[in-house]
A and B are shown apart, each in its own frame.
Chain A
């Protein structure tokens, strides 16, 4: 649901989305140290594999987006990691359009960066397992909710006729946001207990 196929969005939305994504990508690639590429690749791959897990929610099942968690753990590095995942999903699974790649990246990357800016500072000072859970849950919920809002917004910009569809899409993101918050909370609390180094990983890359 988070990946918009080809032919749906209007030309101005496609162009604007691509422009924003190119800008984010340029900044993040400049921050990516060449020697860090192997580490970035392994973590991108881990997020890619995790997003293939099917999670039962109510009568149906969902896949995790994990963009909030990626922003929280990777910071700016989340942008190229998300782009690689989107390219692979578009090229090999057919999820998400080719011309819509820029918009799809924007919809995933902006919430990730938002989580990085708002929530990462909370991981830095006197963290407890309980606070780690809440920070993770906030990142998961915020990441999915913001992506849902952006996807629905991109659709709604197509005109009055697209409003009902945009509303339905926005609604479908609500259960996903709850499930993702519950799960990313557990992930971050787990990392705090087992490998706290992962929680401050982005600090050593950025700044």
Chain B
């Protein structure tokens, strides 16, 4: 069974970069994008995100599926905000009036969320979970948390296999999930059984680790070194983010002429 966490992207342009830089870049990009105001600049940020995602081997259809799956909550906002924000009326749906301010607000939120998600796919889509964990440690995340994350990542695969076996056993007994009490009971027993087997697995794991002298500390591997290409990439990133912030603050001409923002 393939890893549950593997993003499935090939190692595109981001694969050559230091993992710490990739994680740090996503976080910085998210912080900058969230603070932007002007829809024109946000559109630019979205384009940057799209380029980074397409550049690391994601095809457009899969990107769209990921965006849709992740943004159910956004859909609710997109459908309600235009009607609940006061402003110039744009169009009517029955008794409801959509305002331009509401539409712009909804648009800005959708642009922000999508831009960050696209950058995430581009920069982290091909990063192995283990390297991601080590990168977090390199960025100053508490060591205990990183150990917990690294062990959890490993166990997710093992318990995912366990889950697959239990599910197969249910299928072999002609179980088909439906919206009824029998299904909910079965899911409850399935979850309970996963927990029971995990507890037993965790005892074996702890004993095996104690055998090897585990006292609560693990070594964090330094898997990647900082190279010149990383310095260049960091500089480019800094320039791009700075430019986005500046465009947003100063009133440089927008991409939507005729609209005042």
Contact = CB atoms under 8 A, between A and B. Distances in A.
Contacts of A73: 195
Interface string B24-56: 001100110111000000000000000000000
B146 to A, nearest CB: 10
B99 to A, nearest CB: 9
Interface string A9-22: 00100100000000
Given A1-B72, A5-B117, A165-B81, A45 B30 contact: no
Interface string A68-103: 000001000000110111011011111101110000
Q: Is the interface of B mostly helix, strand, loop or mixed?
A: helix
B191 interface: yes
A93 B202 contact: no
Contacts of B233: none
Interface stretch (B101-109, B220-228, B236-244, B248-256): B101-109
A2 to B, nearest CB: 9
A1 B69 CA distance: 10
Interface in B54-81: 66-67, 69-74, 76-77, 80-81
A41 B148 contact: yes
B4 interface: yes
Interface string B118-160: 0011001001010010001000001011011101111110111
Given A6-B30, A91-B132, A53 B198 contact: no
Contacts of A57: 179
A53 to B, nearest CB: 6
Contact of A195 (B27, B70, B188, B196): B196
Contacts of B83: 164
A52 B127 CA distance: 21
Contacts, number: 255
B70 A50 contact: no
A124 interface: no
A57 B180 CA distance: 8
Chain A: interface residue count, which band? Answer: 35 or more
Contacts of A4: 73
Contacts of A194: 192-193, 196
Interface string B196-208: 1011011101100
A98 B124 CA distance: 13
Nearest to B206: A38
A198 interface: yes
B216 interface: yes
B205 A29 contact: no
B189 A6 contact: no
Contacts of A35: 206, 214-216
B109 A8 contact: yes
B33 A6 contact: yes
Contact of B84 (A5, A85, A162, A195): A162
A157 to B, nearest CB: 14
26 contacts: A6-B33, A7-B113, A37-B148, A38-B214, A44-B155, A45-B159, A49-B163, A55-B183, A56-B178, A58-B179, A80-B148, A81-B152, A87-B136, A88-B5, A88-B129, A92-B6, A94-B69, A160-B84, A161-B84, A161-B102, A183-B187, A186-B185, A186-B192, A187-B195, A191-B192, A191-B196
